[in-house]
């Protein structure tokens, strides 16, 4: 949601995105406020479970319950597992297709770059494996976490192109 308010010759632009409030107070007229966030998709393959499909279904259903209810009994543990992402990266969705897909919202370029570093050094895999083990209620191994370079570059370009406006 974007709203503009004029007071005493100042234009104040309030941008609200995922509980982040940013207020700009400038003496020049603000024509547009741009709030950029990138969605990062990562694909996870599981191993060390008897029935992969059943395990994936349990992880997805548990995630939906926990993420929908801030007071859910498992919420504190999930927040603790996800803490290494920081405040500029949020795990938004866990969904199932041929494997488990994870979608992250990154609010800054440094968040995208940080997530990519975690992916490169294996920390992202460790975090996802801890989360999946917790949500499934049993030991889960993540054999592969896929994040193609083209997808990373596309996310990065959102932040580096003309004040966040996607290039055509």
Q: What is the pTM of this model?
A: 0.71
Whether residue 87 sits in one domain with residue 57: yes
Is residue 42 located within the same domain as residue 93?
A: yes
Question: CA 104 to CA 96: how far, in whole Å?
Answer: 15
Q: Are residues 137 and 61 in the same domain?
A: yes
Expressed as residue numbers, the domain containing 80 is 38-160
DSSP per-residue string spanning 18-29: TTEEEEEEESS-
Same-domain pairing of 31 and 77? no
The per-residue pLDDT for range 83-93, each reduced to its tens digit, is 999 988 888 87
CA nearest to 52, candidates 11, 96, 91: 96
Q: Do 15 and 60 belong together in one domain?
A: no
Strands (E), the chain: 2-7, 10-17, 20-26, 38-47, 89-96, 100-106, 141-146
My answer on whether 138 and 56 are in the same domain is: yes
What is the DSSP code (8-state) at residue 84?
G
Under 8 Å between Cβ of 48 and 139: yes
pLDDT tens-digit series, residues 88-133:
888 887 887 777 888 888 888 899 999 999 999 999 999 999 999 9
Distance CA 31, CA 10 (A): 12
CATH number at residue 132: 3.30.70
User: Are 146 and 103 part of one and the same domain?
Assistant: yes
Give the pair of three-digit tokens for residue 49: 């479970």
**74 belongs to a structural domain:** yes
Average pLDDT rounded to a whole number, residues 150-166: 73
């Amino acid at each position: 949601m974007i709203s503009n308010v004029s007071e005493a010759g100042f234009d104040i632009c309030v941008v609200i995105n995922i509980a982040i409030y940013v207020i700009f107070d400038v003496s020049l007229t603000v024509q547009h406020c741009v709030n950029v966030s990138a969605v990062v998709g990562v694909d996870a393959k599981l191993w060390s479970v008897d029935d992969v499909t059943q395990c994936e279904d349990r992880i997805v259903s548990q995630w939906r319950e926990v993420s929908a209810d801030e007071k859910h009994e498992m919420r504190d543990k999930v927040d603790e597992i996800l803490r290494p992402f920081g405040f500029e990266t949020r795990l938004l969705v866990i969904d199932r297709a041929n494997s488990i897909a994870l979608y992250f919202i990154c609010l800054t370029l440094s968040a995208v770059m940080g997530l990519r570093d975690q992916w490169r050094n294996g920390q992202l895999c460790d975090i996802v494996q801890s989360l999946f083990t917790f949500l499934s209620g049993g030991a889960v191994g993540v054999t592969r976490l896929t994040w193609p370079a083209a997808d990373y570059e596309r996310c990065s370009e959102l932040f580096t192109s003309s004040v966040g406006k996607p290039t055509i």
